[in-house]
Structure 1
Amino acid sequence: MAPNYANGNAYGLPTSSYNNRAANTSLAETLLSALQNLLRQGRRYWNGRGRIVAGNLAMQGAHHVSRNLVPRRLLSFPHLLVALWMLVMLYGERWTFTSKVQSCDWDHWEKWPAGATPHRLIFVADPQLIDPHSYPGRPWPLNPLTYTITDNYMRRSYRALQKELQPDTVMFLGDLFDGGREWSTAHGGFEEPEWMKGERPADEAKYAKQWSKKYGEDFWLQEYARFGGLFYDNWRLGGLFPGKWQRGKKIIPSLPGNHDLGFGPGVKPMVRKRFSAYFGETNRVDVIGNHTFVSVDALSLSAGTHQKMERADLSEIYKPVHDFLGEVKGTKRRLAAKEVRFWRGESEDLSYNHKVEDISDASFKNLPSLDQGEDGPDFPTILLSHVPLYREPGTPCGPLREHWPPAKPPKGQTTPVKPDMRNALHISAGYQYQNTLTEEDSVRLVKSIGNVVHAFSGDDHDYCEVVHSSSKDNVREITVKSLSMAMGVPTPGFQMVSLYNPIDENGKSLSRDSKPTLQTHLCLLPQQLSTFATYAVLGILTVVILVIRAFLVPALNLQPFALDGLPPSNGAVLPTHVKAKFEADPEEGYGLPTSGHSTSKFLSARTRGRGASITNGAARGNSPNTKSGKWGWGETRGPRIEIRRDVWDGGRSDGTLWQAARRPTWRSALQSQTALVGREIWTTTWRVAWMALGFYAYLTYKG
């Protein structure tokens, strides 16, 4: 019985499956055959002409390099311009940072009594590392280049800061990242609530879904490592030991900004937990230089007074900071007491009596405590908040603000103009930001903390110094400039703070006449845009100078820089004649030239009727053509030399190309000089350009 192939083939497989397998097998065999054929052709080419071409290119490259590595070329005018470019770029990319920071040295502005040992602290505000959130519409090559340039600027500034100033403490004032709040967490809880959807600006909204899918916990960790590479790795450049009579070197980056967490109701608790897990508690108290620094997460605090309180329960956001402020005075006193005990040579922690008693008789009312109440030591307190405290609109920021200097007061007026809307910090709010805290939150901060003598903040990117109203205890506040060159302020900077508060054995200040225990100084960094403008001007001058020089070369008969048209210095790459010695043929009665003659010359005149030829330097047999004629005429008459065009380029590379002499005319002379000028302009400009750009790329790569 014949097999039934109605639903299959002879192999028992369905027809469609069999055909697909056959098609796949055929395609694989075709690709394999094509690959094998390509390899064979490549091997054949290499064993034939490829090896010769490669050798020729190597010889020409070596010859070209040898022609450039001579003193006349190395010390030529274009290379002097390259040296100038290198010096200018070294100053613009390296030395100017050191120079600027050196001008801010502590000794230049500190005014403490002789023998004082101040604690030296530096505030860094808004490094705000550029990321995909910063310029979402930019194409791929520009964004990485922007990351590199801005990171290098901060790295060079921070390195100079550490090497030259060697601060005892470095504290950050928030906005460590630009899009930190946008990158999802590993444990969920990242989605925005319904009542906040639709508030994102239109230019960001179209990228929000992409950010949520493409960037997450792994990307945030990469950004954390990037921050560490900039600031943690270079922190040790300032030395591992603090100044005299200081307790230790510290770096404290735990204060968050709205770009790290969001603002008010937009703060996501899971994002805040991630931030505090890697940078430290967002609400904290530190005793530094006999001063108490209180860092407050004002972003979460703002949720407690936000208008959206009526639409949702935001207690999960603001409750931790409310709890912190409720206990902060006691925390301050306990930490101050520990500091005083340390300087007295005592144990910082209390020691308890060890005894055994029945739990029903145990009393916890009279336990010893470091908090001695209002009578305990309490150092001058410094409030740190990423968002500035509230002030009336138009409150001037002072002469150090870069955006707009103060308005000139009318004739006879000695006080600053108020309101001064241009010089003032602009008070506004929007999606995930608010330029100042509310009046309610500002008063709450100052009153809850107590004994606040100074406040420092960030967020605005420019400098602003104000003295607040009596409702906020007339606290002086400085908003610190951003360290980044990409924050809209041409001149970045950082704030230097010198702390000197000698105390007695009970923690009371020994400073007489209530003199300030804190001095500050704004240190300005280089203007990167000015550096780029310098490069642009130098580039234009370089081209102009090279064009002028190119016209002077034929006019003054100067040595041209371009190798085209120059006579060969050490002969050609390949020989122009070959010396060879051949034995005479006694039967024919004539011989080939001896070693003293060139093979390019005619053979001896004692020839017979049949011609002879030479191919690749070897003698060939007599030609069967018996027609008479002069040597070198006709296809089969006379000696022939086969020139391999893939080996010899006709003498173009070394200027030995033979041409018949012709009488020069004014037109040909003008064309020759014009060609020489054109070659000089192109060759010298290209040489300076690629060497200068290569050096800049090296400096950029090294950071």
Structure 2
Amino acid sequence: MPGLTERRNSRLAPWLYSRAVVVNILRMLWASIMIWGEFGIYLWSVSFCKWPDSGLTSASHHGATHVLLISDPQIHKPSIFQDESSWSSLIKQLIYDVNLKKSWRFTKRLQPHVVFFLGDLLASGRGVNSETEYVQYIEKFTNSFPLGSNILAYYIPGNEDVGMGVAQSKVNVRRIFAENFGPFTQQVEIHDHTFVLLDAPGLVDEDYQRASVGVTYNQWSPLRGGTVEQLKKIKPSQKPLMLLSHIPLYRKDTASCGPLREKGNIHKGVGHGYQNTLGKETTNFLLESLRPSLVISGDNRDYCEHTHVLSSLGFDVPEVTVKSFSNTRHISNPGFQLLSLGDPPPLKSVSQQSFSTQTCLLPGHHDIYGRLYPMSILLTVALLFIFNAYRARRIRRFYIPQMSLTAPHDSSKKIVSPIRSGLDSAIWTPGTGALTADIRTPNMSSRPTFRSASRPATPLASSVLPVTTPLYNEEEEADDMYPAQYAQRATAYPESHEETWSHDHEPLEEIWHENSTSTTNWSKRTNYWKWSWSFNVGGRRVTVRVPTPSWSGLRDLVGLLDDRAGEDATFKHRGMVRSTLIDLASVGWTCLLLWSVVTWWTF
């Protein structure tokens, strides 16, 4: 059992191990973690994205046009059209949609002038069963990617949007897509640069028909209204041309994708409703007929840089494959591409650069739901377990067994009080009627004996006791360990001594100087109040006082949350493991409530 001093020191700061304080601190900590995970990490990632205006020449740097390129948003189907309706699938879709909206909300803070969506706007648009389903699918996309009135937006189709090859939809989704997003293949002029938007799925379908008859593109008669027919209408000009395609162009399997790619390269591959790259002849047809200055593609989900070398034409064409904007298992971090456009250089200054591109990364699901939140949960469990283990140890250490107030059943054994036995053996002096008792200090028997001062009292059974002697003083309770001369010190002063008061008991009227107008006074003579405001309200003076902030005041405020006696009893009843689980649930429900509010605000 600890000593008295140790027990007193343990009561100096009970709020240090109060359950209410620890749980509330963890709640505030989790609120900070969730604000960072739901907002801060997105804002931090976008803050590192800068428009690549520095890559332009000095003449083109002034008044640059900012173009944002988004690939593979992959909006999921509305919940009412999904086959699976389990709680797990609904929660996964909710998290997916919320993070996609937050990514777009923070990406739009870059304030682009033009936005190009590089296909696969919908995750499974080709698999719809009705026009109504496809229309609602498109409405969900537009709600997830709202645009301001000052932002131009252009869209190119992907194989998941309109289908490709044998994986065609039962519904005429190409018509509905064109009605909502514009022509499939078109030419756009932006800041003296030509952008060619390519219908890559339609070009692949026409390429299979061309290859089936064994003719080249020069010999091929384009399909009426097809992709090849529209491409042949575009004539190269002196302006820089940017080719935008959902499907990347052909390259060798061993071609490197640069240091920014997470893993592997882009390999040739064909499957049900997809094709990894365009054909070799199709790629040569596009590069030779259009002669683009830059090719930007998507569909592969991961970032890739590749340069197409055309020795026959005497120039090289760089291609950038944009990262997927949505979260996917293929990559750790989604992203997007920034493109800055400047004034085109003169014909004689072909070395000047009129465009510059830069990739940007966004936080992925794995960063938030695979690292941040699980590690925070493990840390919370560990802290609560350590705290409850300390509480269990403290309760065992400072537990004082209850003393019995009843006498033992064995009447032969008497409980003798050391002090009372001294009084029983006291020697009375008949002349003074005073009691002289030997009161010895415990464990100091070798030291001199002190005698108590004489008090004008006699034992209850003594015949010397007067009838008028009071047995109990209401103002002073008798204490065997408190000498009488100290109790009488208030009457030991001379009669002429006047009563005095310390500064702590001065009247408030002498401390606070109230004026007729509203003033602010600084108190120098009291420790209770430091600032006051006095003003008149309806002819009556009102004073508002603000207490001094102090550590003791904060400790007392926190101490209001502490019910250590009740907590200790409840903790002993529940046990350490159960208490840890209950504390974890107490922290968890506030986090769940905060996440629900954030989700509601995002939608």
Verify same fold: TM over 0.5: yes
Specify the alignment match of 2:393 in structure 1.
555
Matches of 2:159 and 2:221, distance apart in 1? 18
Which residue matches 1:395? 255
Q: Among 458, 474, 488, which residue is 2:316 paired with?
A: 474
User: Does 2:24 align with 1:85?
Assistant: no
Asked if structure 2 preserves the Cα contact closer than 8 Å seen for 1:125 and 1:480, the reply is: yes
SS of aligned partner of 2:287: helix
Pairwise CA distance, 1:385: 0.7
Confirm whether residue 523 of structure 1 aligns to residue 468 of structure 2. no
Offset, 1:87: 0.6
Q: How many residue pairs get matched?
A: 410
Q: Any conservation in 1 of the 2:27–2:587 contact (CA below 8 Å)? A: yes
Question: Contact 1:267–1:299 (CA<8 Å) still a contact in 2?
Answer: no
Alignment of 1:259-408 (within 5 A): 259-264=160-165, 266-267=167-168, 270-306=172-208, 310=212, 319-329=225-235, 378-403=238-263
Partners of 1:400 and 1:464 within 8 A in 2: yes
Q: Could you say which residue in structure 2 is the equivalent of 1:426?
A: 267
Is 102-111 or 439-448 further displaced after alignment? 102-111
1:103 pairs with 2:17: no
| CA deviation map 1:92-119 (0-9, x unaligned) | 1111111111111226854542762111
Shift of 1:144: 2.3
SS in 2 for 1:469: strand
Question: Are the counterparts in 2 of residues 455 and 477 from structure 1 also a CA contact under 8 Å?
Answer: yes
| Residues 267, 300 of structure 1: 8 Å contact kept | no
Counterpart Cα distance in 2 of 1:79 and 1:672: 18
Which residue does 2:76 correspond to in 1? Answer: 130
State the SS of the aligned residue for 1:540: helix
In structure 1, what is the Cα distance between the partners aligned to 2:107 and 2:380?
34
Is 1:435 aligned to 2:276, yes or no?
yes
Inter-partner Cα distance in structure 2 for 1:175 and 1:434 = 13
Report SS of the residue matched to 2:316: coil
Counterpart check, 1:701 vs 2:600: yes
**Are the aligned partners of 2:276 and 2:300 in contact in 1 as well (CA < 8 Å)?**
yes
Distance 2:225 2:281 in 1: 16
- Report the CA distance between 1:531 and its aligned residue: 1.3
Paired residues of 2:166 and 2:272 also in contact (CA < 8 A): no
Instruction: Report the RMSD for the aligned CA atoms in angstroms.
Output: 3.6
Letter in 2 for 1:693: L
The C-alpha deviation readout for 1:627-651, integer Å capped at 9, x for no partner, is xxxxxxxxxxxxxxxxxxxxxxxxx
Query: What do the CA deviations read for 1:343-371 (whole angstroms, capped 9, x no partner)?
Result: xxxxxxxxxxxxxxxxxxxxxxxxxxxxx
Q: Does 1:454 align with 2:294?
A: yes
Asked if 2 retains the 8 angstrom alpha-carbon contact of 1:460 and 1:479, the reply is yes
Q: Does the aligned pair in 1 maintain the 2:56–2:354 contact within 8 Å?
A: no
Q: Structure 1 residues 295, 551: CA separation in 2 closer, same or farther (over 3 Å shift)? A: same
Q: What corresponds to 2:589 in structure 1?
A: 690
What one-letter code is carried by the residue in structure 1 that aligns with 2:72? Answer: D
Compared CA separation, residues 103 and 671, structure 1 to 2 (3 A): closer
CA contact (8 A) 1:109 1:521 kept: no
Partner residue in 2 for 1:67: none
2:142 equivalent among 216, 228, 231:
228
- The AA in structure 1 aligned to 2:309 is S
State percent identity of aligned pairs.
30
Could you tell me which residue of structure 2 aligns to residue 119 of structure 1?
65
Paired amino acid for 1:434: Q
Find the counterpart in structure 1 of residue 159 from structure 2. 258
Q: 1: distance between equivalents of 2:187 and 2:356? A: 21
Contact 2:571/2:579, CA 8 A, preserved across alignment: no
Partner of 1:446, secondary structure, is helix
CA positional deviation for 1:74: 10
Distance across 2 between alignment mates of 1:681 and 1:179: 45
- 1:693 deviation in Å? 1.9
* 1:500 maps onto 2:406 in alignment: no
Q: CA–CA distance in 2 between the matches of 1:267 and 1:515? A: 45
Provide the C-alpha distance between the structure 2 equivalents of 1:327 and 1:308, rounded to a whole number of angstroms. 19
Q: Could you say if the C-alpha distance between residues 108 and 699 of structure 1 is closer, same or farther in structure 2, counting changes exceeding 3 Å? A: farther
Q: 1:684 Cα deviation (Å)?
A: 1.5
TM-score (ref. length: structure 1): 0.53
Aligned equivalent of 1:159: 105
> What is the deviation of 1:552?
2.2
1:445 aligns with one of 266, 272, 286: 286
Instruction: Report if aligned partners of 1:154, 1:484 keep a CA contact under 8 Å in 2.
Output: yes
Q: Deviations over 1:362-419 (max 9, x none)?
A: xxxxxxxxxxxxxxx631001011111111221111111112xxxxxxxxxxxxxxxx
Change in 2 beyond 3 A, CA 1:325/1:478: same
Whether the 8 Å CA contact 1:546–1:681 is kept in 2: the answer is yes
Match of 1:145 in 2: 91
Aligned-partner residue type, residue 498 of structure 1: S
Distance 2:172 2:34 in 1: 45
Report how far residue 265 of structure 1 moved: 5.3
Contact 1:426 1:435 (C-alpha < 8 Å) held by counterparts: yes
Unaligned 5+ runs, structure 1? 1-69, 184-211, 242-248, 333-376, 404-422, 504-508, 559-653, 658-668
Residues 134 and 173, structure 2, Cα contact 8 Å, conserved in 1: no
Query: Residue 200 of structure 2 contacts residue 246 of structure 2 at CA under 8 Å; is this kept in 1?
Result: yes
Rg bigger for which structure? 2
Structure 1 residues 484 and 672, CA gap change in structure 2 (3 angstroms):
closer
CA offset at residue 304 of structure 1? 2.2
Once residues 167 and 672 of structure 1 are traced to their aligned partners in structure 2, the CA distance between those partners, rounded to angstroms, is 58
Q: Aligned partners of 2:168, 2:225: CA distance in 1, in Å?
A: 13
Q: Which amino acid aligns with 1:251?
A: A
Q: Is the Cα–Cα contact under 8 Å of residues 501 and 511 in structure 1 kept in the other structure?
A: no
| Secondary structure, counterpart of 2:247 in structure 1 | coil
Q: CA deviation at 1:228?
A: 0.6
Say whether residues 1:465 and 2:305 are aligned partners: yes
Distance 1:273 1:385 in 2: 20
Helix, strand or coil: the match of 1:691?
Answer: helix
Distance 1:487 1:262, change over 3 A: farther
Residues 588-646 of structure 1, C-alpha deviation per residue, up to 9 Å, x if partnerless? xxxxxxxxxxxxxxxxxxxxxxxxxxxxxxxxxxxxxxxxxxxxxxxxxxxxxxxxxxx
Instruction: Go from structure 1 to structure 2 and tell me whether the alpha carbon gap of 1:474 and 1:264 turns closer, same or farther (over 3 Å shift).
Output: farther
Displacement, 1:157? 1.4
String of CA shifts for 1:473-531, please: whole Å, max 9, x gaps. Answer: 5211111000001352111000111111246xxxxx37835222111111011132121
Shift in alpha-carbon separation, 1:266–1:318, aligned structure 2, 3 A: farther
SS in 2 for 1:384: strand
One-letter amino acid of the structure 2 residue matched with residue 531 of structure 1: I
How far did 1:138 drift? 5.5
Cα separation, partners in 2 of 1:556 and 1:444, compared to 1, 3 Å: same
Match of 1:588?
none
Give the secondary structure class of the aligned counterpart of 1:175.
coil
Please say if residues 301 and 331 of structure 2, whose CA atoms lie closer than 8 Å, have aligned partners that are also in contact: yes
Say if 1:678 and 1:305 are closer, same or farther in 2 by CA, change over 3 A: closer
Cα distance in 2 for partners of 1:131, 1:308 equals 35
Give the secondary structure class of the aligned counterpart of 1:460.
coil
